[in-house]
Amino acid sequence: MPNCALCCAGRSLKHVTATAASVPVANAPIHMSPVDWFRLAVPGLVWGTSFYFIAEGLEAFPAALITPMRVGFGFATLSLFPSARRAKMERADMRRVLLLGVIWMALPLSIFPFAEERVSSSVTGMLNGATPLFVAVVAAFLARRLPPKQQVFGVAVGFSGVLLIALASGGGGNDSWSGIGLIFIALVLYGFSLNVAVPLQQKYGGLPVLWRAQGIAFVLITPFAIPSLDEVHFAWGPFLAMVGLGVLGTALAFVVMANNAGRLGSTRASVSVYLVPVVSLLLGSLVRHESVAVLAIVGCGIAVLGAYLTNRARRAS
């Protein structure tokens, strides 16, 4: 979205095709074929693997190198889509895209590898399920008014789940708590960046904004990674994980999500993001054999429920 950016991208990409006459009404009946169901699930399934890929990448590459690799592969992949490169942006909007390159891509995506040096990929993915809560809180802060009562209730439910995840996962001492703190910083940045990104995506479409933000981020973060090149212990498995993280999670999942929003409606398309913490939890516990506290799993479920209630309240308001 990771990417992370990753867990609330469905919400931010709901506006990608908002001006197209063919966008389905959110609650209109629509026949869902097996292929449609598969396409609907793809972004969440892919983004759910992001934290697993990061953990695998850390086996061979230093944390400082993970983000330039994923963003570089993602940017190169999006460059293959003419729609990402075609739109010309006004100068004032390019300044906002520059800001997004910093707070949506460069900073949060750089934070996650360092966080996963301290906490498991499962915990990182579960906490990322709270991204819609941070988006809602930041939106209320920027609007300088309290959200509707239903949304406040959803945020309260969600953050109670986040608290349970943190309490259950911070038992590793100061190192674990510092990792959780880093994740919270990244989620706050996501909250601001997705509120900035939505108007730009309404105006230009999602892929042109994403492509430019990734290009800016790659230029900004690559110089900081160069000194860590001598720490690389190359192995094909971690390298292929980085390719998957960049090509799939940082590029193609966004393309599929944008297409789903146009074909199935933004509300249906956004359902996919609720798979992210579930996939991350399953991969971490079953594949990487990470120990996950039962209380953290309960908290994950509550956080996802709160995110769902919050998003439903936002659509109704």
Helices 131-143 & 174-204, crossing angle to 10 degrees?
60
pLDDT per position as a tens digit, 86-102: 778 888 899 999 999 99
In the prediction, which pLDDT does 18 show? 35
* CB 30, CB 269: distance < 8 Å: no
In the block, residue with structure tokens 């690799």:
69
pTM summary value: 0.84
* CB 158, CB 130: distance < 8 Å: yes
Query: Alpha carbon 10 to chain centroid distance?
Result: 9
* HSE of 7, CA atoms in CB hemisphere, 13 A: 37
* CB 272, CB 41: distance < 8 Å: yes
Q: How confident is the model at residue 22 (pLDDT cuts 50, 70, 90)?
A: very low
pLDDT per position as a tens digit, 147-200: 788 888 988 998 999 999 998 888 766 678 999 999 999 999 988 888 888 888
Res. 122: pLDDT tops 50: yes
Residue type, 67: T
In the prediction, which pLDDT does 25 show? 40
Interacting residues of 162 by C-beta distance below 8 A, sequence separation 6+: 127, 130, 133, 299, 303
Which of 217, 195, 245, 257 is closest to 108 using CA atoms? 217
Domain ranges of the chain: 2-18+32-316
pLDDT per position as a tens digit, 38-50: 888 898 899 999 9
Gap between the terminal Cα atoms of the chain:
27
